[in-house]
Amino acid sequence: MLCNALGCVGFSWAASPACTELETVVLDWLGKMLQLPEHLLAGTAGAGGGVIQGTASEAILVALLSARTKVIQREREADPESSDHDVMKKLVAYSSDQAHSCVDKAAMIAAVKLRKLPTDSDFALRGTTLSAAMEEDKANGLIPFFSCATLGTTPSCAFDKLLEIGPVCCEENMWLHIDAAYAGSAFICPEYRPLLDGVEFADSFNLNPHKWLRVNFDCSTMWVRNRADVVDAFNVDPLYLRHDNQGLVTDYRHWQIPLGRRFRSLKLWFVLRMFGVKGLQQYIRKHVSLAKEFESLVLSDDRFEVSAKVVMGLVCFRLKGPNNLSERLLQKINETRKIFMVPAKLRDTYVIRFAICAATTESSDIVHAWNIIREQADEILTGVKNGI
């Protein structure tokens, strides 16, 4: 309400210095809460820094387009006869086959190939898989230029092996983006921070405080190692946007796709000031413990199984047996209109995703949901027994 009432449109730094400056400060605060490496923070004179994008999809697109511009410049310097098109048709980006569909969308928009690589038994992308794919592509004359690692995948909340992937990307001079849209908020807790080890290799990193850090939509925080890489890709400079402090201050219009921007940092500022680090850590821990509570309810009923490790607030579960049982179960559960869940496929296995995201969820809600799930399962399994 306050952001809108202020009527700030933030086209450029000059249009609202506070809108820009607060964003830089607040993203450094959050970056410190996450123990991000110094080079991803703005600090006083850093080459890197943070920006608030609307969504993870935008952050990933910005990262991919920046990487594309950078590699095109590099390849054309090496071969001045070549054109942008000559380079672009050889570019290849990588992610795991568990990465969010917005990575596919970014590659579509950027008109580059995307290879979605197989994962290990924990649905994590390994460094050896990435390097083997890259070697194969290079042998075929392609240019690996971008890799998106996911921390907390959408289907099962799996974590790609950053400490393996990071060195591969560095060795190949390939842009590494880390998408931690959902799980990233949990890294403010010391016990989950090891999952972010390897972030020091990243060129860019995003998480969505609007998913799990009590900030309302939209707020996707993104940090970049070298702001010049992004500014080079997005810098247009018409007369009507110039101002006296140009070059001396941050102009976020060069870090994003739109020109105008909302005063989103105010939302984050309020949340950080209201709850504090401890309050936000407690919030994350409560959701994880509710997920664990749900997991033990599922495990206490031998008709069900848990389909992936429960690390954060997501529990993937299913009825034992063929996929169609769980498909019918989910349909019936959603038809009750009391709770709502969506499915995922983990390889060929159909699973139901129980995700704890709401600020007000309590243990009683978990029990309530489990009772609905069990009732619907009773009906389906009795029907199966009776041949219906």
Instruction: State which residue, 147 or 150, has the beta carbon closest to ligand PLP.
Output: 150
| Amino acid (1-letter code) at residue 280 | L
Instruction: State which residue, 104 or 379, has the beta carbon closest to ligand PLP.
Output: 104
Q: Residue 153 Cβ, how far from ligand PLP at the closest point, in Å?
A: 6
Dihedral angle, C-alpha 166, 167, 172, 174, nearest 10 °: 20
Max Cα–Cα distance, the chain, nearest Å: 79
- The answer to whether residue 264 forms part of the interface with ligand PLP (CB under 6 A) is no
Instruction: State which residue, 57 or 281, has the beta carbon closest to ligand PLP.
Output: 57
The 10 Å CB-count burial string (b at 16+, else e) for 146-158 is: bbbbbbbbbbbbb
Q: Rule CB under 6 A: which of 173-212 touch ligand PLP?
A: 179, 181-182, 208
Q: Considering only CA atoms, which of 178, 45, 62 is closest in space to residue 70? A: 62
Alpha helix stretches (DSSP H) within 256-301: 265-299
Q: Which of 34, 56, 178, 266 is in the footprint of ligand PLP by CB under 6 A?
A: 56
Stretch that binds ligand PLP, among 152-160, 225-233, 345-353, 379-387 (CB under 6 A): 152-160
Distance in angstroms (rounded) separating the CA atoms of residues 248 and 252:
13
Q: Which of 90, 100, 262, 287 is in the footprint of ligand PLP by CB under 6 A?
A: 100
- The answer to whether residue 150 forms part of the interface with ligand PLP (CB under 6 A) is yes
Task: Evaluate whether 269 touches 194 at the Cβ level (below 8 Å).
Answer: no
Distance in angstroms (rounded) separating the CA atoms of residues 385 and 388:
8
Structure tokens at 86: 């000559």
Q: Which of 12, 96, 220, 307 is in the footprint of ligand PLP by CB under 6 A?
A: 220
- The answer to whether residue 349 forms part of the interface with ligand PLP (CB under 6 A) is no
- The answer to whether residue 334 forms part of the interface with ligand PLP (CB under 6 A) is no
Distance in angstroms (rounded) separating the CA atoms of residues 122 and 161:
10
Distance in angstroms (rounded) separating the CA atoms of residues 181 and 256:
17
Size of the site for ligand PLP (CB under 6 A): 14
Q: Residue 157 Cβ, how far from ligand PLP at the closest point, in Å?
A: 9
Stretch that binds ligand PLP, among 36-44, 64-72, 130-138, 149-157 (CB under 6 A): 149-157
- The answer to whether residue 160 forms part of the interface with ligand PLP (CB under 6 A) is no
CB atoms within 10 A of CB 17: 15
Instruction: State which residue, 24 or 57, has the beta carbon closest to ligand PLP.
Output: 57
Distance in angstroms (rounded) separating the CA atoms of residues 101 and 152:
14
Q: Residue 353 Cβ, how far from ligand PLP at the closest point, in Å?
A: 11
The dihedral of CA 92, 96, 98, 103: what is its sign?
negative
Instruction: State which residue, 102 or 195, has the beta carbon closest to ligand PLP.
Output: 102
The contact set with ligand PLP (CB under 6 A) reads 55-57, 100, 102, 150, 152-154, 179, 181-182, 208, 220
